[in-house]
Amino acid sequence: MCCSRRASARSRISGNSVSRRRRSKLPGHWSASPPEPRSSYPTMVKPPGLKPVMAFANTVASINVWSLPIIANTGTVTGEPAPVTQELLTWVSYPSLSADATKMSHIFVRSKEKYRLCLRDLKTGSVANVSPTPPTFGYARVSPDGSRVAYRYEAEGREAIYVLPGEVRQSEIQASPLCGDCGRPMDWSPDNRNLLFGTARTPSSIAVLDTHSGRRTELLTHPALNLEAARFSPSGDWIAFCARDPSGAGRIFIAPFDTALLERSRSWIAVTESSTKDLIPAWSPDGNLLYLLSARDGFRCIWAQRLDPAVKRPGGRPFAVRHFHQLRHSLLQTISSPPEAVGLSVAT
């Protein structure tokens, strides 16, 4: 992800996109998700006087991370999407980006190759593989300053969290255990001390790990809804998250990050309506705008909701930042993939 540090702060927002092409390389800007395999739609054809033959079209799809240039605190788009990664016949998915757009973690899958978790330095272009490689998707999360990366490592019925430094100086980076049985990392606090994670039980809840003391505290639970995609506000005082029902419909809430209000759903602020499919939130740098990966119009697109600066209640209706209704650049709309595979990050 590229970024500009001017006063008007042109930023980039990232998510995942599928690009269908014949031979040429992928154009454009950031977004990430797992790619679609080749798909063929055979048809039997019988030319006059000849034996029947099978005719089909062969489509090759790659999934890459793209970026969209925006004025991050207003949601104003200033350019067209452009690719961050430009891999062919590859799935680049589950992206996580540092707040300054210098480091990005993602899953890399290519045909006939073993999938791997990677850390990419977007300034130098260097890429390192992470070891040990998680047996399943690791839900890696990069800290705001890019200095640490946490990911899930499932083994023997436990969901451990491993952590590694954010320096890409060699081809492989060794991670070390942080928590023996926690769950899926969701976000780092601005000071890198607290790590939000999703518990392994059903319905899933949101907990926090104090990485200094090792203390784990359950923050948010619901008897029927899975609580997912928790994100700290830039100040660290609020948490935005998604509550999903069994059908996959999601609703975005904001809650204060306060252990004195443990689990109390009455302290939750409803940001979006219950009838929509809002999937992942992402804060603007000033904390007064919440971006949404949402399928509210039938497609996975990027929306935003203005917030009251003091109490974080929604002000007005959500507005579309960028639609992705075309199949050529869809946010994994045609593939059965979780929202986290698409991802959504805002950086300056």
Q: CATH number of the domain at 212, please.
A: 2.120.10.30
Per-residue tokens: 198: 């999703």
| pLDDT on residue 31 | 38
Does 46 map to a domain?
no
The domain in which residue 192 lies consists of 10-38+59-347
The number of domains in the chain is 1
Structure tokens at 249: 């419909």
What is the block-wise mean pLDDT of the chain (348 residues), using blocks of 10 residues? 31 54 33 41 56 60 90 96 89 94 94 86 96 92 97 92 95 95 96 95 93 93 94 97 88 88 74 87 98 92 96 96 85 70 93
Asked whether residue 52 is domain-assigned, the answer is no
Q: Which of 237, 192, 191, 195 is nearest to 216 (CA)?
A: 195
SS (H, E, C) the chain: CCCCCCCCCEEEEEEEEEEEECCCCCCCCECCECCCCCEECCEEECCCCCCCEEECCEEEEEEEEEEEEEECCCCEECCCCEECCCCCCEEEEEEEECCCCCEEEEEEEECCCCCEEEEEECCCCCEEEEECCCCCCCCCEECCCCCEEEEEEEECCEEEEEEEECCCCCCEEECEEEECCCEEEEEECCCCCEEEEEECCCCCCEEEEECCCCCEEEEECCCCCEEEEEEECCCCCEEEEEEECCCCCEEEEEEECCHHHCCCHHHCEECCCCCCCEEEEEECCCCCEEEEEECCCCCCEEEEEEECCCCCCECCCCEEEECCCCCCEECCCCCCCCHHHHCCEEEC
Could you tell me if residue 158 is inside a domain? yes
Contacts of residue 338, Cβ cutoff 8 Å, sequence gap at least 6 = none
The two three-digit tokens of residue 288, written as one number: 């007064």
In a domain, 91, yes or no: yes
Flag whether 43 is in a domain.
Answer: no
Amino acid 298: pLDDT = 87
Say what the pLDDT of residue 229 is.
Answer: 96
Chain mean position to CA 294: 12
Q: Kindly state whether residue 51 falls inside one of the protein's structural domains.
A: no
**For residue 123, is it within any domain?**
yes
Record the pTM: 0.83
Cα–Cα distance, 165 to 201 (Å, whole number): 29
Can you give the pLDDT at residue 21?
37
Closest CA to 179 of 167, 162, 194, 197: 162
Question: Would 326 be classed as within a structural domain?
Answer: yes
- Per-residue model confidence (pLDDT) at position 7: 30
